[in-house]
Copies of this chain bind each other. A is one copy, B any other.
Amino acid sequence: MSLNVGVVGASGYAGGELVRLLSTHPKVSISMVTSRRNAGKPVSNEIPILKGRLNIKFEEPDPPKIIEKCDFVFMATPHAVSMELTPQILEVGIKVVDLSGDFRLKNPEIFKRYYGVDHKAPDLLDEAVYGLPEINREKIKNARLVACPGCFATPSIIALFPLVKEKLIREHVFIDAKTGSSGAGRTPSPADHHPERTNMVRPYSPGEHRHVPEIEQALAPHGKVKVTFVPHAVDMVRGILSTIYSITMENVDEQSVWKAFRSCYSGERFIRFIHWKSGGLYRFPNPKITLGTNYCDLGFKLLKDQKTLIIFSSIDNLIKGAAGQAIQNMNIMLGYEEDAGLDFPGIYPV
């Protein structure tokens, strides 16, 4: 018998991806999808690829109904909404994976600085587990509430964790990220209006992005890190490439870097190493190759005479950066195969 799973906030792009991926998941059934704005309308209106595949309707995100219909809940709501609903759902014993930013940061003051509002459920912040399985798998297994990392945080932390842990690099790192437009969400805006978002590269919020404190918080237990982060909007719908510039400690060579990566990730289902010696055009990570998948591809280049290590880390922002990672967390929390429903190989060329 399959588990009843609900998606709250399913009309956004991350919510839509949850519905799509869950619709082919071997262990669960979608028992409820909510959207305040689209309540009563067929899900396929908003997630058009599901035409002829999933004949359900959006419902209101009404907590009593959620509690009645669901055994497990994904929150894909805008920031500051989840912290209102999640406590009510947890209370009745339903586990929650939250894709918003509400439960990622441990410190409510830092939360307020970056999100502009007071936290409504600060007592849950300590309990919430930061849902990056490659680092926190054991804690996720027993969590009631998992906070899925931000899309930029995911590839950055995965790239830096082994290097920080093994003390291969100095404190200050520079992350230059390039991102597709789906990361900005479904609501039309001047910044993502097609005539403005095409044929361009647009840096934004340099040094001030919300995902920076996440990255620093996640790495802090393993070593000190100071992050300079600049996201750039590029003409692409899906995907993030993080190019990370760091200064190495003395005597770091290629072997040390591979060793650090392998010691942390060698059994990982969703981490791939891309070697610059591999043939063809794709000798470094590229979001084209991770598109549609739950992979995080890692590669690097060491400039030994400059003591400079450049790490490349690529994901699909809506999958490993959102819905896929959320399902990976669910799989761990419920004891399923970690890649259940997440085995798609990608699509090439796309």
Contacts and interface: CB of A to CB of B under 8 A. Distances in A.
A235 B234 contact: yes
A74 interface: no
Interface residues of A, number: 89
A203 B47 contact: no
B20 A281 contact: no
Given A228-B303, A239-B201, A245-B174, A349 B195 contact: yes
A189 B188 contact: yes
A243 interface: yes
Contacts of A286: 200-203
Interface string A321-350: 000000000000000000000011111111
A49 B194 CA distance: 18
A170 to B, nearest CB: 11
Given A241-B201, A281-B191, A292 B292 contact: yes
Interface string A222-261: 0000101010101111110101010100000000000000
A245 B177 CA distance: 13
Contacts of A346: 49
Given A228-B306, A230-B310, A292-B292, A237 B194 contact: yes
Contact of A207 (B41, B48, B308, B312): B308
Name which of A44, A178, A278 has the most chain B CB atoms within 10 A of its CB.
Answer: A178
A172 interface: yes
A176 to B, nearest CB: 4
A106 interface: no
A259 B278 CA distance: 47
Interface in A275-322: 278-282, 284, 286-289, 291-293, 297, 301, 303, 306, 308, 310, 312, 314
A104 to B, nearest CB: 22
Given A48-B348, A194-B181, A282-B48, A200 B288 contact: yes
A239 B202 CA distance: 12
A85 B278 CA distance: 32
A13 to B, nearest CB: 6
A310 B206 contact: yes
Given A51-B272, A194-B194, A178 B232 contact: yes
B192 A193 contact: yes
Contact of A198 (B52, B194, B241, B279): B194
27 contacts: A20-B348, A41-B279, A45-B280, A51-B274, A172-B247, A172-B308, A178-B234, A181-B193, A186-B195, A188-B189, A190-B281, A192-B194, A193-B193, A193-B194, A194-B197, A195-B349, A196-B281, A196-B349, A201-B234, A201-B241, A201-B288, A202-B288, A206-B284, A206-B310, A226-B306, A228-B245, A230-B310
Interface of A: 13, 16, 20, 23-24, 41-42, 44-53, 172, 174, 176, 178, 180-182, 186, 188-204, 206-207, 226, 228, 230, 232, 234-239, 241, 243, 245, 247, 272, 274, 278-282, 284, 286-289, 291-293, 297, 301, 303, 306, 308, 310, 312, 314, 343-350
